[in-house]
A and B are shown apart, each in its own frame.
Chain A
């Protein structure tokens, strides 16, 4: 069973990530008094893109490699995580630091693609993406470190759901708040969809991509969104833990739906911030995340 769990994880993520995206779009549409696209529209979009001719518009290998790298990185992450609080064969061989590295690798792949594309708008988008990465990644790392501090181990199985598992102290509450405030930036939705700001940068880092390559980037982004939602549910919502694997799975997914509704709501009721305004916001988050880890070290 432990050896099948990574596959099950991958299947769940691949199948459901576009649905969560569809949920976001539908919800946004309802807030805006529109009917909106059908829930399954993101599947259609992906199929359409995957069926197109694969163009290498920059003509270089890093440009072709970038989407594959982004997609592969997120696949490995979701394969390893203990979805439904169930340890799998991969999780034992990875730790929190590796997960942070892999997620960063996904971001670096986006940068690489944008730089290889040599488009002015892509470059500006890439620089904004880089700033966002540098500023929000620490919050993610601190979330994992918090668990590690509490359980005195960095292994994935312990680190991720542990913040809750090891008792819900003051540090967990603080971290939970910080994580929620950073969530919109993790999933790159308004007010933090700054890197691809459609009206000024025309999708920014993705501007030169089309067809299957674009589909891979988009798919990877959807799975990343789902991962961040799962991480929150897994780390900060302890009551959902029943011990029965299928039930845990369903409960976690339902909690993620609720979280996605929140993401949609915040996204639809905020304008996009400028990168300089966002950086000031992120800086405050980093300080609070550090404070949370400090509290955990003190045993609070």
Chain B
């Protein structure tokens, strides 16, 4: 029997008003404390209102979401090793992992095709781009999402057996791991769909020099606490998606003694330090698997509407949700809005691509724009826009992160734990910072900007959650 003591009769009402202004004005005129909501209709779609009610009335909901998010927040991501994908993942020649939800060659966009062509060349499975393309078109390769193997890949996200990957483990539960490829830098790079000789040459150096040097340094040093680095990055102007400058330098600082003390030739070490220090995005490939490791811990809680992955394959945007297992909810990937490099323009851009939206899924990237005012111009905004973007994300997330804090918001924690129901009910879509790949295979990066998922990812997810909901 619920308690019958009620604030309704014991306290003067303090009222949240949602809807007609007349009713708000009536209360204001009486001097009552009133808190109006700037209401907008929920995301539109058949059955969405009904599904939203079923999900919000699911008696498991509050506890399920708390459980899922607490598991996410309990993860302590550590960089523990650097290894070839063939060894660590058992990846065999002819199989490639890629970003986003599952996709076949015939549906793949330019950058994904370009990256697969480059990976074929890199693995020696083809001698020319034409030969590689023909073999891929004939189904010579097996394509599987990184996400299905516990990892993530930026942009095209293509991983082949000879590539090296960062290996992360959870200090709290060492059985759990995640991984990500090593970052190649900017411009003409495989992940943006470029596959020219300089691209393949760089990949060879990364496998023969960068990977082993980093492996030995990491093993010598012992696990590196990536959560602490992420927390500090937010105090140093990084948002861990489009800006990773501070994170990269902190990583280098942590590894330097062991790099220098190791057995590798001085010229290799100098080249490694030049490469890592000159690549402001190097840490992105650690931020991503760190958040992947955290979010995977939140999977498979029945009744939870927590988003555990957002990823794009260049054709489709897909999300996965804690309460609905491994099901992807997809819609057509959108075109980012932002700035273009050199003479590139909007016609040169490919739709949104990459697993890097895992950063936003975990409350970084576009969600903490307020912490990274230095990049708002890159993505076409101003400082006020950055503040507003972050404030909006609190409307669709379930909690403030206890460690990742934003000084500009009086150290409020980052908006963490995207809730499908909140996205649907407010109509606010997650804000994603992203790079833009060229539409034509082989082009590389053409710009950077902002993008949101298509609304149908969330309307499809709410319907699935609604069908799985328990009756109130």
A, B bound: no
Interface residues of B (CB under 8 A from A): none
Using a CB–CB distance below 8 Å, which chain A residues touch chain B?
A: none
